Amino acid sequence: MVQKLTILGSTGSIGVSTLDVIRRHPERYRVEALCAHRQIDRLCEQCVEFAPRYAAVRDDNLARELRQRLATVSCATEVLSGPEALVRMAELPEVDTVMAAIVGAAGLPPTLAAALAGKTILLANKEALVMAGPVFMRAVRQGKARLLPIDSEHNAIFQSLPDDYSGDFNKSGVRGLLLTASGGPFRKTPLEDLPKVTPEQACAHPNWSMGRKISVDSATMMNKGLEVIEAHWLFNIPAENIQVVIHPQSVIHSLVQYVDGSVLAELGNPDMRTPIAQALAYPERIDSGVGPLDLFDVAALHFERPDFDRFPCLGLAYQALKDGASAPATLNAANEVAVQQFLEGRIGFVDISQVIARVMERIPASGLYSLDDVLAADAVARRMAELVVDEINQR
Ligand code: NAD
Ligand code: MG
């Protein structure tokens, strides 16, 4: 049967990789809806190539422009706009699978809607799960949705856990998870040089090509911190059983340790098309376009302990997971603001963790029971982060 998809964030790095895998298997997949933010040129090309029934963007003016352009090339895709359009695309009754690849908190409402509508969710948008953990996982259970991780580490863990893993790690004989991290571009940069690094240097990841926000998160290692929280919710494993291991080659994408001493892992070339194809075709296997791993080329694999002084964001994320309730939402919102301000040149690289730490100190964790609670915690933390950025700039 042909699998019908909505792709949230189709113009981004994950969205483009997803369409590249789909392009190789036209007999298996049909794109029903494409959703994006600003890159109308790319979205227009994607509509022409994949002929989705719908395309959705947030902004009404951009929607009008896209409509005109599609009309000139006789493309019949219907264009919708507004945040509610994203939710509608995630709930389309004819769609079975939703690729959640919007970056940041903006992806939460449609991803949550996909969960409640019982879709198969291919989850790249880790921020949605980090900020809304208990609410999101409840929606998945309520909607009887299927959640398949796209993040390479979590996809590797998913592949290394037993097929019938029920969320009871003790019962499955799991001792813990080893989450690998490349260490990003500043693993060895002298600490005194970190305040001067530029957004371009921070976005130049040694192994993966990604969007700018996640690239900065990788440079601060907040990305790994978010992934610890993501792993906690996906696999129901306590923080103390999740260990981060620096592995600069990014060939082992993560590992599961079992009580008998066995350690299972997934390895491959660092290319997101592998986890995307794994999740798209699960439980089958399809060609992703990624070449075979050449171990002779790799030659050696290295491992290091993460340095929590160099990467304070990692400790802040563990702290947020420990504090629970709204603390991860606060962490995530403060991080989104700080990264944006860094990318726009208003604060320095080392200020990112400072902003997050101060926001977390000032906002006590509160209960998280509904989407409204999550959005409220997100909004409060964003306002506080903006205040802290002003304070930093007045120094
Ligand atoms: P990106 O910046 O390249 O793309 C983001 C996409 O989201 C774009 O299509 C953009 O149009 C859309 N978008 C942004 N803001 C939006 C808004 N307000 N409303 C609607 N759409 C909006 O980012 P990316 O690297 O593709 O990452 C996407 C997600 O996947 C992130 O959550 C990231 O953490 C996660 N992820 C990415 C990678 C990777 O290799 N790129 C790996 C693992 C996880
Ligand atoms: Mg990852």
Residues 11 and 135 in one domain: yes
Which numbered atom of ligand 1 lies nearest the CA of 128? Answer: 32
Residues 110 and 55 in one domain: yes
Q: Which pLDDT belongs to residue 224? A: 98
What pLDDT digit, counting tens, does each position of 105-137 carry?
Answer: 999 999 999 999 999 999 999 999 999 999 999
Answer whether residue 274 is part of any domain.
no
Answer whether residue 9 is part of any domain.
yes
Answer whether residue 262 is part of any domain.
yes
Q: Which pLDDT belongs to residue 206? A: 84
Q: Which pLDDT belongs to residue 89? A: 98
Residues 166 and 242 in one domain: yes
- CA–CA dist 354, 393 (Å, integer): 12
Token pair belonging to 83? 């945040």
What pLDDT digit, counting tens, does each position of 258-294 carry?
Answer: 999 999 999 999 999 999 999 999 999 999 999 999 9
Choose one of 111, 134, 149: the last residue of a domain: 149
Residues 302 and 362 in one domain: no
Answer whether residue 317 is part of any domain.
no
Q: Whose structure tokens read 């997803």?
A: 18
- Residue closest by Cα to atom 36 of ligand 1: 124
* Of 8, 13, 60, 290, best ligand 1 pocket probe by most atoms within 8 Å of the beta carbon: 13
Q: Which pLDDT belongs to residue 205? A: 85
Residues 305 and 328 in one domain: no
Structural domain count of the chain:
3
Which numbered atom of ligand 1 lies nearest the CA of 38? Answer: 11
* Closest listed residue to residue 342, CA positions, set 52, 334, 247: 334
Answer whether residue 283 is part of any domain.
no
| 144 CB-near residues (< 8 Å, 6+ apart) | 118
Residues 157 and 256 in one domain: yes
Q: What is the CATH classification number for the domain harbouring 352?
A: 1.10.1740.10
Which numbered atom of ligand 1 lies nearest the CA of 86? Answer: 20
Q: Which pLDDT belongs to residue 150? A: 98
The backbone torsions φ and ψ at residue 3, rounded to the nearest 5 degrees and listed phi first, read -85, 130
Q: Which pLDDT belongs to residue 335? A: 98
| Domain that includes residue 9, residue range | 3-149
What is the CB-side half-sphere exposure of residue 114 using CA atoms within 13 A?
Answer: 30
Amino acid at 309: D
Rg of the chain over all Cα atoms, to the nearest angstrom: 20
Residues 177 and 130 in one domain: no
Residues 297 and 337 in one domain: no
Residues 144 and 28 in one domain: yes
What pLDDT digit, counting tens, does each position of 96-105 carry?
Answer: 999 999 999 9
Answer whether residue 164 is part of any domain.
yes
Answer whether residue 280 is part of any domain.
no
Choose one of 149, 167, 193: the last residue of a domain: 149
Residues 136 and 17 in one domain: yes
* CB-count exposure of residue 302 (10 Å: 0-12, 13-18, 19+): exposed
- CA–CA dist 258, 278 (Å, integer): 23
Q: Which pLDDT belongs to residue 208? A: 83
Token pair belonging to 293? 């791993």
- pTM, two decimal places: 0.98
Answer whether residue 275 is part of any domain.
no
* Closest listed residue to residue 339, CA positions, set 169, 186, 239, 222: 222
Residues 295 and 379 in one domain: no
- Which residues of the chain carry a pLDDT beneath 70? none
* Of 103, 121, 229, best ligand 1 pocket probe by most atoms within 8 Å of the beta carbon: 103
